[in-house]
Structure 1
């Protein structure tokens, strides 16, 4: 196939760069597995093959995998792999050129959100699999780019049997890109609310969380820091490779305020705590009063899921850049929007508690997958 030959050519050209990049700690396993098949053998047969990108997506599919049982999972990122391997047989998804001989048969392929790889669907169909695009979405920002390559997506959707879209807007956009047999079922992340894995005692303080923060967000949110003596601030970076740099940002930004790493003490005693371990965010949401939901203050990220915090009726503050999460934001009432300049003024105002107002039906999705 011409497309597969084209992807082989791309791999040959980019291999030196990819090999060099693979020595970075963030990519040391994922790039070598995906582009050089290092320690990434062909998966065994399973009735259901789920493909998801990273940590958040692998969290979202976990209840489905456990319910359907005979499942395997493929991922793109290291954090996604670390999460998925805890509940299923997991592999890194190789680059397109490897899939014709790497992808073994499954009865059903379920691809999560926007992981639109042509050979993944094409090879699965040639293996006799039913193919499903789950939780499908096309963000406002990315839609124009999708349209530029409409010919590619029209080709790809020939191999997709069923599309389960998040919203009517997503359905309309997917239809324009060539998708068929589309059903609107809502966002699965609104039906799959992660529950605390640990239960911390609520401090006799106002607990504020800067949640899922990205580069520049910690520095700018701390620039106008106004903590009351009865406040406790948790800072939870989105990516673990930034833990050390965020530690230095906090150290340089504060004066005369007690500060510690979460991993050093676990006692939750200091006024500011850097949460430098994965999997703690939902545990902290359960005791939070106010959540500053990041990924929304800097252009180009698109926001993060507000429902995880809203299930605990936290008061939520957000930046304006939420283009990747608009449907989830619509499912939550009471979110306040702010900027770097007025976030602390908002925190010390009369905020309302949030409430989830639109839930997705997980049983309906399972029924669709089973056919």
Structure 2
């Protein structure tokens, strides 16, 4: 009875939400028509059936897909007799997987967590092993895999305090789902402790997979070219992975800063917002160019709008300093590890609960600095612009920070090897 009621209410919630699920797809398609592509996959209907054994990896969107790169490469190298199935939830995640892996993996959308849909998914692909990235706890999916004998691992697992509270409302259902996982490999001991309190067992800690994502030489070369196209001698600041409302705050900070020679690159987190940010720049009377035009940056240009995909390492490489978005407003923060990997000094806002330990450690070692608001961002930018030696120290600390935390993929492959041999 303790488990029956939560499971019943979860099933009832999914049933009631079904029409809204369809409307949600249509609504999202207004801004991203790709949401209408492969829509049948979201209900467990797929075409080609793999002829080789399948290793299935689920990465929700762009960030998780990029983080999965070293793991996918290791799986491709170690298990050439298997096909890698990479599932996503968002079209941008799927597009990212296409650009990163091409035909080396098969890809599909993970179905919504309806019992009929997830059972179809499991029957169709018959995964030899399932790997869920970060915090993907879907009760019906995990239950279907468990019933079919498919071992499922929660890898690179993280659980913020906020998420732990939300999952606590469905304690019995979440506890049952976590208990059906074959293994849980957490990023940090704090994540492991929170997952354990929710019912996960046999948790191991392997670190954050994002630290093993090294920039490709081509990406670094693109960054050097971008710097050269920007005039070379101009100071460059990148506001990366910005979320709704943050671009305006960054522009407010730049007005306070009043540094006419500075080139700012603004790279929105979501591609569907590129035009929205362009409209904001026009409304503010800011002289800007689009990165997608591929033209040298004019002297009078104040902002380069980063409206391209897959070039974040290049933007960081071209910049003297970076603000990592999702943190000035309460979105939980975006990944600062990519900036650290190329030695770019990092500024972050007060809201970083998605990367609590990473942010704390980066600040402690001098790789990052926290700012509280627009005024703080303006002051921090001025201090870094005026102090080249401080920028150099932060750059060296960022690279050392990145190198010190690598090795997660090796530890994950050891765990995976227990189930695949």
TM-score (normalizing by structure 2): 0.81
Alignment of 1:336 onto 2:390: no
Please tell me whether the aligned partners of residues 49 and 108 of structure 1 are also in contact (alpha carbons under 8 angstroms): yes
Q: Report the equivalent of 2:68.
A: 61
Distance 2:321 2:250 in 1: 14
Quote how far apart the aligned CAs of 1:47 are.
Answer: 3.3
- In the alignment, what sits opposite 2:345? 315
| 1:14 and 2:20 aligned | yes
Residue 164 (structure 1) shift:
0.3
**Aligned with 1:173 (options 194, 197, 201):** 194
Alignment partner, residue 150 of structure 2: 129
Question: What CA deviation, in whole Å up to 9, does each residue of 1:191-224 have, x standing for no partner?
Answer: 2234354423332221100111111111111124
Q: CA deviation at 1:290?
A: 0.8
Please show how residues 351-370 of structure 1 align to structure 2 within 5 Å: 351-352=390-391, 353=394, 354-355=397-398, 356-357=400-401, 358-361=404-407, 362-370=409-417
Matched, 1:93 2:110: yes
Note if contact 1:166-1:184 (Cα within 8 Å) is conserved in structure 2: yes
Q: CA deviation at 1:274?
A: 0.6
Q: How does 1:109-188 map to 2 (within 5 A)?
A: 109-188=130-209
The answer to which of 240-249 and 187-196 deviates more is 187-196
Give the 3 Å change call, closer, same or farther, for CA 18–343 of structure 1 in structure 2. closer
Q: Which residue of 1 aligns with 2:354?
A: 324
CA contact (8 A) 2:44 2:121 kept: no
Structure 2 residues not aligned, in runs of 5+? 77-81
Whether the 8 Å CA contact 1:43–1:91 is kept in 2: the answer is no
- CA shift in 2, pair 1:263/1:179, >3 Å: same
Match of 1:50 among 57, 79, 83: 57
Distance 1:15 1:211 in 2: 31
1:158, 1:179 within 8 Å by CA — same for their partners in 2?
Answer: yes
Distance 1:179 1:222 in 2: 44
Cα displacement string for residues 323-363 of structure 1 (whole angstroms, at most 9, x for unaligned residues): 00112223423211112123122111144414243414221
- How far apart are 1:184 and its partner, in Å? 0.8
**Who is 1:253 aligned against?**
284
Equivalent residue number for residue 286 of structure 1: 317
Among 379, 382, 405, the alignment partner of 1:348 is: 382
Change (3 A) 1:295 1:102: same
TM-superposed CA distance for 1:31, in Å, is: 8.5
Instruction: Output the CA distance in 1 between the equivalents of 2:49 and 2:16.
Output: 24
Alpha-carbon spacing, 1:25–1:33, altered in 2? closer, same or farther (3 Å): farther
Cα distance in 2 between the residues matched to 1:37 and 1:123: 13
Q: What value does the CA root-mean-square deviation take over the aligned residues?
A: 2.4
Q: 2:88 aligns with which of 75, 83, 100?
A: 75
Distance 1:99 1:316, change over 3 A: same
Please say if residues 42 and 110 of structure 2, whose CA atoms lie closer than 8 Å, have aligned partners that are also in contact.
no
Determine the structure 1 residue equivalent to 2:79.
none
Q: 1:13 deviation in Å?
A: 4.4
Residue in structure 2 matched with residue 106 of structure 1 by the alignment? 127
Determine if contact 2:26/2:36 at 8 Å carries over to the other structure.
no
Q: Indicate the SS of the match to 1:234.
A: strand
Shift of 1:5: 5.7
C-alpha spacing 1:30/1:214, structure 2 compared with 1 (3 Å): farther
Higher helix proportion? 2
Equivalent residue in structure 1 for 2:252, among 203, 215, 223: 223
